[in-house]
Amino acid sequence: MKVGIVGLGLIGGSMAIDLKRKGFAQKIVGVEADPVNASAAQKIGLVDDIVSLDECVAECDIVVLAVPVGAAVRLLSNVLDAYQAAQSEDKVVIDVCSTKEMLAESVKYHPHRKQYVATHPMAGTEYSGPWAAMPGLFDGHACIICDAQESSSNAVRKVEALYDVLNMRTIYMNSSNHDVHTAYVSHISHVTSFALALTVLEKEKDEKHIFDLASGGFSSTVRLAKSNPDMWVPILTQNKENVLHVMDTYIEKMNAFRQAIADGDEQSIRGLIEEANRIRRIIR
């Protein structure tokens, strides 16, 4: 199997490492627009070759679009067009983006739609770039496959095999539900971390104090605020309605908390904390 990875950042790079290491891919080529990242990826040995997108599509059995979702929308059409031009029916292209509906819409009527499988491996760190790539990043996490009925069963089987090699649990969902649930469980926690970092940086002018006083609790809560804007601007823009909906609920909860504290209403504060504690049953 030859695998092409477009975008050699944290996700693309980590996939390259494990797909090669575990023997799923005999050869891995990379496409990388940023020359610094391309050189780094080659130096680290993430890929066998850096090639153009055209070469990658022509050469590879599976192409992975591991780029921010705005770029993925453009590239996905290009890849399917190339499959059409080459009368290729067996090759498969996947994306790994955190929002799905706009991608799904963009190729809904493409004659080669069946060769695209929409996937979202739910793993990552707050770091980015080829130097952030690591073996085992995906182990034990969930991977969502969206709109599987829109892809050929042959394509879905190949992609399931790929994620199986990465030790991921596969979950099936349609794009629209995917975007609702990821807004609730993933996107909102990035926004709350960004807002927390902005608050602390504004209130605590002396960075030495932040450094000295930051316990493990603060560090873990603010960790996602290190996340890359190239990835997050398009996610928050594309999943706008769902993200706004969940932000509104969040702001309501903050205001309820604020009111209880302002009133010195210990019983209400306790009630809110006990309710929040229910998360213990779900998150270990």
Residues 168-187 that bind a second copy (CB under 8 A): 169, 171, 181-182, 184-186
Q: Of residues 109-148, which lie at the interface with a second copy (CB under 8 A)?
A: 122-126, 141-142, 144
Whose tokens are 């060769």? That residue is 115
Minimum CB–partner distance for residue 272 and a second copy (Å): 6
Cα separations (Å) of 185 from 29, 164, 224, 255, 283?
A: 33, 24, 13, 20, 12
What number of other Cβ atoms are within 10 A of residue 279's Cβ?
8
Counting contacts by CB under 8 A, is residue 250 touching a second copy? yes
Minimum CB–partner distance for residue 27 and a second copy (Å): 30
Among 55, 84, 129, 257, binds a second copy (CB under 8 A): 257
Minimum CB–partner distance for residue 157 and a second copy (Å): 22
Q: Which residues contact 47 (CB under 8 A, 6 or more apart)?
A: 5, 8, 16, 28, 29, 30, 41
Name the one range near a second copy by CB under 8 A: 52-60, 100-108, 146-154, 189-197.
Answer: 189-197
Q: Of residues 199-228, which lie at the interface with a second copy (CB under 8 A)?
A: 199-204, 207, 209-227
Minimum CB–partner distance for residue 190 and a second copy (Å): 7
Counting contacts by CB under 8 A, is residue 73 touching a second copy? no
Counting contacts by CB under 8 A, is residue 279 touching a second copy? yes
Name the one range near a second copy by CB under 8 A: 19-27, 84-92, 159-167, 243-251.
Answer: 243-251
CA distance 156 to 159: 5
The 3-class secondary structure across 149-161, one letter per residue, is HHCCHHHHHHHHH
Counting contacts by CB under 8 A, is residue 71 touching a second copy? no
CA distance 278 to 144: 25
CA distance 208 to 4: 45
Question: For residue 204, which amino acid is it?
Answer: E
